[in-house]
Chain A
Amino acid sequence: MQKALHIKPELCTGCLQCELACSYEHEGLFNPSMSRIKVFEFEHGRHTVPYTCTQCAEAWCMKACPTEAIHLDTKLGAKLVVESACVGCKACTLACPFGTIEFNPVSGKVDKCDLCGGNPKCVEACPTAAITYIDADSTGYDRMRSWAERTHLEVSQ
């Protein structure tokens, strides 16, 4: 079963442990500027929202790449950047509607979430389970369940 990152912004405290973990996994040091997951703040920190690549099934980045440097990991569903093939042209960064693939000025290549080979470190680091890694067909399950519960309560009243 393919899995997906599932983000619940209402649980996020904005601590950036996910950014620290991501940068450590990929760069070997603590450097949120290099993180592929980013937490955005709104209204004086009232809302803090982690955001990263959703691993589109038909990925714009992959289609836009002129050197076929982005390929699909069929098992994980992740779109991976092959560093040796990437020429840093940034076509993918223009194509991605979500802005989740970004140019890395240090390497001269692009970076994006690779799901850490199936063990996403952001998930492990998150202290509130705002980021989980669950069956890809179940990201709406909790929401569906809560509506079902409401319906049930209304019916039983």
Chain B
Amino acid sequence: MTWQGSVLRVNLTEGSYVVEPLNMEWANDYVGERGLGSKYLVESIDPKVDPLSPDNALIFATGPLTGTMASTSGRYAVITKGPLNGAIACSNSGGKFGAEMKFAGYDLILLEGRASKPCYLLIEDESISFEDAEPIWGQSVWKTEEWIRNQHNNPKLRIASIGVAGEKGVRYASVINDLHRAAGRSGVGAVMGSKNLKAIAVRGTKGVSVDNPKRFMEVVRETKALLANNSGRKDMTEHGTNSMLTTMQEYGSLPTRNFREVQFEGFDKVDANAMEETDDSGHRNLITNKACFGCTIACGRIAHIRQDHFTIINRREYWHASGGLEYETAFAFGPAVGVDDIDALTFAGYMMNEHGMDPISFGVTLAAAMELYEMGAISKDDTDGVELTFGNAEALTVMAEKTGKFEGFGQILGLGSKVLCEKYGHPELSMTVKGQEFAGYDSRALKGMGLGYATSNRGACHMRHDVFAEDYDDSSPEGKAGPCKDSQDRIAAMDSSGLCVFVTTAWGIEEFAVQLDAACDGTWTGDRLLEAGERIWNLERLFNLAAGFTSADDTLPPRLLNDPAPTGIRKGTLAELDRMLPEYYDLRGWTNDGRPTAETLARLGLN
């Protein structure tokens, strides 16, 4: 059996834990990771709880394929009620922590309550202890990992932790594992901080078995070959996700200067090509590519900053290589804030990893602050004297560090774009859905993306649907609701498997199904997975409805609905959400006000 069959339930208030058998009925219906973690969350908390109170739960969940030889098998997800917007939050991450947690014997770690003082959890197979985190409270993620390994003289520990941002409740604080892999979005790190939990350090030696090893090795060989020969995969290996930036520039869907514009004149200074160019001094931003656990794609970038750059010229501690720009980071620190200095972007990326924050939400919040600054709604008196103008690279790097360390104006930026814009009297400038910031795709040129953003259960998110092919074909809202709904269900299932959705460049749901079928008890087909995905989607929706969200929250900011795209091949278009949403509700089997009907719930076993 490829599930370990165990849930580690930790009561931080009491400093106790219990190892429970995994609920296999739920595993069969919700698979693992995102789906199963969400089911456990729904069964553990009241949807109306304050996300930063001890009543919230924080769940680390692996999937059935996590830790196996399937490609990209390093995924785990962190599920909780998110503090950025109060919706169900699920952020997944790669790196090596997730597989290690499973090797220690646990499918899920479920954390409840709040520790009386800062602590971290040390897990070595069955041995579990609560350790004192006072010496590292206030320290960065990078220091924390080093300190914990030294403390236990164990270099093999894999660690997921928070930085100061998470401790102080930055609303989009991330959980970071393996130095620069992030359960990035929705503020899952702030929930960890609210529980006085600095880190989980784990070493696992039990391994993972599958149901039919011989068959599993056969199908894994076949699916890996599909990936190996796929041109999209090759592009991702060679250039990383940031080659997307050039494509978005072409389509006029590259959100620029807080979405006022859709193309960025400096795009070629921060895109994948720019990372790969050697400059006059012989410096090249990109050093190499690296993989997460089990991954045969290796889209991760390892980069470094010019030593004479203003950010680090007097800070030798940043002269080392670390995680480099991925598309969303490049978008959020480049076009979104109008900055074209690739070293500044890379440094701001270091800050996100070192202090534990979501680059998308930080960048888009900073973009809103810059617009507020330029219109005079805030001034240097608010911004600690920093000239917060679009294009100011120093404003980006200084504010990234201030927010990570929760200093000065960083404390305001740490509340997110929605609260920031409301505070200064311009809620319309917040580029968010349900209080979560947009990723780097403009919904005027890409209509299906807009519908996906508007209906995503964690607020604006580009990873919950995949309507790229249809959106590239035309800019019409027609025919976008179906692919949006179908891909949401498909990805919900994929996100629950333990694998990474970046394999979808070569694999469809059937490739997931054959691997799960060989690994798990019972029969796993594509249809079964799609139904599980739809069940998961509706479960998340029900949580949000119970938390107080309504169909009125399935919307986009006025800028995207009313201001036509100013340039690009889709100049003049609007998001046109109203031409897609009713059809979408209908396809979902929801009422006109966005509630699943009794029939839908019965069909999915959710009644």
Q: Give the residues in chain A near B272, CB-CB below 8 Å.
A: none
B290 and A27 within 8 A (CB): no
A69 CB within 8 Å of chain B: no
In Å, the complex CA distance between A57 and B290 comes to: 34
Whether A44 and B320, one on each chain, are in contact in the complex, defined by CB atoms closer than 8 angstroms, is yes
> Contacts A14-B291, A44-B321 given: A33-B298 contact, CB under 8 Å?
no
Within 8 A of B (CB), among A90-117: none
Asked if A30 and B68 make an inter-chain contact with CB atoms under 8 angstroms apart, the answer reads: yes
Residue A23 interfacial (CB < 8 Å): yes
**Given contacts A16-B293, A29-B208, A44 and B69 within 8 Å (CB-CB):** no
Query: Is the pair A13, B290 in contact by a Cβ cutoff of 8 Å?
Result: yes
B224 at the interface (CB under 8 A from A): yes
Are A16 and B294 touching (Cβ within 8 A)? Answer: yes
| Residue A118 at the chain B interface, CB threshold 8 Å | no
Q: Mark A1-44, 1 if CB is under 8 A from B, else 0.
A: 00000000010011111001101100111111110000000011
| Any B CB within 8 A of the CB of A45 | yes
With a CB–CB cut-off of 8 A, which chain A residues contact B203?
33
**Chain A residues with Cβ under 8 A from B228's Cβ?**
127
Give A46 to B302 CA distance when docked, in angstroms. 6
In angstroms, Cα B291 to Cα A21, docked, is 16
CB distance from A61 to the nearest CB of B (A): 22
Is B293 within 8 A of A31, CB to CB?
Answer: no
Tell me the chain A residues, 117-157 only, with Cβ under 8 Å from chain B: 125, 127-128
**Distance, CA A45 to CA B180, complexed state (A):** 9
In the complex the two chains form, is A44's CB within 8 Å of B323's CB? Answer: yes
Q: How far is the CA of A27 from the CA of B103 in the complex (A)?
A: 14
Tell me whether A55 is interfacial, beta carbon within 8 Å: no
Which residues of the other chain, B, contact A43 by a CB distance below 8 angstroms? 320-321
Complex contacts, A23 vs chain B, CB 8 Å: 207
B29 shortest CB reach to chain A, Å: 25
A15 CB contact (under 8 Å) in B180, B209, B210, B291: B291
**B212 contacts which chain A residues (CB < 8 A)?**
none
Residue from B205, B224, B298 in contact with A31 in the complex, judged by beta carbons closer than 8 Å: B205
Known: A31-B103, A31-B205, A44-B323. A20 touches B302 (CB 8 A): no
**Do the beta carbons of B179 and A45 come within 8 Å of each other?**
yes
Q: What's the least CB distance linking A14 to chain B, in Å? A: 5
Contact, CB under 8 Å: A30 / B180? no
Cα–Cα, bound, A34→B209 (Å)? 13
Q: How many residues of B contact A (CB 8 A)?
A: 39
In the bound complex, do residue A44 and residue B217 qualify as a contact, i.e. CB atoms below 8 Å apart?
no
Residue ID in chain A nearest B208 by CB atoms = A30
Interface centre among A23, A34, A46 (most CB of B within 10 A): A46
B288 adjacent to chain A (CB < 8 Å): yes
Tell me if B217 and A24 are in contact (CB < 8 A): yes
Interface string of B154-179 (1 = CB under 8 A from A): 00100000000000000000000011
Nearest CB of chain B from residue A19's CB, rounded to whole Å = 10
The CA of A108 and the CA of B607, in the complex, are separated in Å by: 53
Q: A17-B296, A44-B321 are in contact. Are A28 and B213 (CB under 8 A)?
A: yes
Q: Are A29 and B207 in contact (CB under 8 A)?
A: yes
Residues in chain B near residue A13, CB distance under 8 A: 289-291, 295, 298
A30-B322 CB under 8 A given contacts A14-B291, A24-B69: no
When the two chains form the complex, which single residue of B99, B209, B291 contacts A29, counting CB atoms closer than 8 Å?
B209
Within 8 A of A (CB), among B187-214: 203-210, 213
Does B535 interact with chain A (Cβ within 8 Å)? no
Contact of B292 with A by CB under 8 A: yes
Please give, as numbers and ranges, the residues of chain A lying within 8 Å of B255 by CB-CB distance. Answer: none
Closest chain B CB from A42 CB (angstroms): 10
Are the CB atoms of B208 and A15 closer together than 8 Å? no
Q: How far is the CA of A121 from the CA of B323 in the complex (A)?
A: 30
Q: A30-B67, A45-B302, A127-B224 are in contact. Are A15 and B293 (CB under 8 A)?
A: yes
B274 CB–A CB distance under 8 Å = no
B207 near A16: Cβ-Cβ < 8 Å: no
Contact of A44 among B206, B298, B322 (CB under 8 A): B322
Please tell me which one of the listed residues B208, B290, B294 contacts residue A17 in the complex, with CB atoms under 8 A apart. Answer: B294
Residues of chain A within 8 A of B293, CB atoms compared: 15-16
**Interface presence of B34 (CB below 8 A):** no
Give A48 to B178 CA distance when docked, in angstroms. Answer: 13
Q: Do B291 and A30 touch across chains, with their CB atoms under 8 A apart?
A: no
Contact of B179 among A10, A28, A44 (CB under 8 A): A44
Taking each of A30, A32, A44, which has the highest tally of chain B beta carbons within 10 Å of its own beta carbon?
Answer: A30
Are B296 and A15 interface neighbours, CB within 8 A? yes
The complex places the Cα of A76 from the Cα of B293 at a distance, in Å, of: 31
Q: Is B561 an interface residue (CB 8 A)?
A: no
Report which residue of B178, B224, B290, B300 has the largest number of chain A beta carbons within 10 angstroms of its beta carbon.
Answer: B290
B96 at the interface (CB under 8 A from A): yes
CB pair B290 A48 closer than 8 Å: yes
State in angstroms the CA–CA spacing of A24 and B208 once bound together. Answer: 10
Check if B287 is an interface residue, CB within 8 A of chain A. yes
CB distance from A140 to the nearest CB of B (A): 23
Query: Once the chains are docked, how many angstroms separate the CA of A125 from the CA of B294?
Result: 10
In angstroms, Cα B4 to Cα A31, docked, is 13
Docked CA distance A27–B295 (Å) = 21
- Do A27 and B302 contact each other (CB < 8 Å), given the known contacts A43-B321, A44-B180, A46-B287? no
- Nearest CB to that of B217 among chain A residues? A24
* In the bound complex, CA of A14 to CA of B99 (Å): 14
Chain B residues within 8 Å of A15, by CB: 291-296, 298
- Tell me the bound Cα distance from A130 to B300 in angstroms: 17
Closest A residue, CB atoms, query B205: A33
Q: List 11 A-B contacts (CB under 8 A).
A: A13-B291, A15-B295, A15-B298, A16-B96, A30-B210, A32-B99, A32-B103, A33-B205, A34-B207, A44-B302, A44-B321
Seed contacts A15-B294, A29-B209, A44-B323; 19 additional CB < 8 Å A-B pairs: A13-B290, A13-B298, A15-B293, A15-B295, A16-B96, A17-B69, A21-B69, A23-B207, A24-B69, A29-B213, A30-B69, A30-B208, A31-B205, A33-B205, A33-B207, A34-B205, A44-B322, A45-B300, A128-B298
Chain B residues near A (Cβ < 8 Å): 67-69, 96, 99, 103, 156, 178-180, 203-210, 213, 217, 224, 228, 287-296, 298, 300, 302, 320-323
Residues of A near any B CB (own CB < 8 A): 10, 13-17, 20-21, 23-24, 27-34, 43-46, 48, 125, 127-128
8 pairs of A and B residues whose beta carbons are closest in the complex: A31-B207, A15-B291, A46-B321, A13-B298, A13-B291, A127-B296, A33-B205, A44-B322
